[in-house]
């Protein structure tokens, strides 16, 4: 099966291309550095020729509200049009658990707009809502830093390893279109403040984690369950954070 992975040279995309290849699929990485640009349309027709499935794991180069919205809307429209012309039978997109719970957040609004375009298109689809990645834990801590403190809300947090994300997305890609969504998350659920207090301690990081119910997460306040899946059967990864961190020298 020919599967085109848009954003296929990035963190999740590169893992996905490798995993699909190991299972005998023709997995093609599509990204600006491989000659495919979903904003300009360059290379789209060529890379989609003969493709049965397209997986979109691309991301905006800017997280500013207007820029990220323009990226996802333009990229998705161009991609869906090219897929329709090429006869692609399954569009898979990776989104974020909780998008609908933070409509005031510019990035989440852009992901909602992307999903709506996909849902309204003629192409059968699957939406994979993932929780935060282990690989971004340091970035989350840095974003929450105020001087020598890290302000974190006492909400539920269920991050997952990039390898588990790629594994789950790969299973969806080779299966029948869901014409709906699936949620994926890590195998452990934490309190976010406790998680970061433990992780920074393990790093030997001198910053103090302060529990703050009003702490912002990339500009938005969080509800207790904003960032975790619902109770209707999310698919859970296998890799625990401590095991991942020990293998990846996390925090160094």
- Which domains does the chain show, CATH number per domain? 2-133+159-188+224-242 (3.40.50.720)
Whole-number pLDDT of residue 31 = 96
Statement: residue 187 has pLDDT above 60: yes
Contact 35, 87 (CB under 8 A): no
Within 8 A by CB and 6+ apart from 139, the residues are none
Closest among 144, 119, 161, 130 to 248, alpha carbons compared: 161
Confidence of residue 250 (pLDDT cuts 50, 70, 90): low
Closest among 86, 98, 15 to 57, alpha carbons compared: 15
For residue 16, report the phi and psi dihedrals to the nearest 5 degrees.
-65, -45
Statement: residue 251 has pLDDT above 70: no
Whole-number pLDDT of residue 248 = 86
Total-model pTM: 0.94
Q: What is the pLDDT of residues 208-229, one digit of tens each?
A: 999 999 999 988 899 999 999 9
**What's the mean pLDDT when you consider all of the chain?**
95
Q: Helix 106-120 crosses helix 65-86 at what angle (to 10 degrees)? A: 20
Rg of the chain taking only CA atoms, in angstroms = 18
Beta bridge partners of 124: none
Residues 105, 103, 120: CA angle, nearest 5 degrees:
120
Q: What is the pLDDT of residues 49-89, one digit of tens each?
A: 999 999 999 999 888 999 999 999 999 999 999 999 999 99
Q: Residue 236: enclosing H or E segment and its boundaries?
A: strand 235-236
C-alpha distances (whole Å) from 20 to each of 129, 170, 179, 193 are: 20, 7, 22, 36
Percent with pLDDT over 90 in the chain:
90
């Amino acid at each position: 099966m020919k599967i085109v992975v848009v954003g296929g040279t990035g963190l999740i995309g590169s893992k996905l291309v490798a995993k699909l290849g190991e299972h005998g699929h023709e997995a093609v990485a599509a990204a600006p550095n491989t000659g495919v640009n979903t904003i300009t349309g360059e290379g789209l027709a060529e890379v989609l020729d003969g493709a049965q499935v397209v997986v979109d794991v691309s991301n905006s180069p800017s997280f500013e509200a207007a820029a990220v919205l323009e990226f996802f809307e333009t990229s998705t429209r161009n991609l869906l049009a090219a897929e329709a012309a090429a006869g692609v039978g399954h569009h898979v997109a990776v989104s974020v658990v909780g998008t609908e719970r933070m409509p005031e957040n510019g990035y989440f609004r852009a992901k909602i707009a992307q999903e709506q375009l996909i849902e309204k298109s003629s192409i059968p689809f699957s939406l994979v809502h993932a929780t935060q990645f282990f690989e971004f834990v340091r970035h989350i801590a840095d974003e929450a830093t105020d001087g020598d403190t890290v302000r974190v809300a006492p909400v539920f947090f269920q991050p997952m390893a990039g390898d588990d994300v790629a594994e789950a997305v790969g299973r969806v890609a080779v299966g029948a279109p869901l014409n709906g969504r699936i949620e994926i998350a890590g195998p452990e659920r934490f309190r976010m403040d406790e998680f970061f207090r433990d992780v920074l301690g393990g790093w030997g990081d001198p910053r103090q984690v302060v529990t703050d119910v009003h702490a912002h997460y990339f500009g938005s306040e969080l509800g207790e369950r904003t960032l975790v899946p619902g109770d209707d059967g999310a698919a859970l990864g296998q890799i625990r954070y401590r095991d991942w961190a020990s293998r990846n020298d996390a925090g160094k």
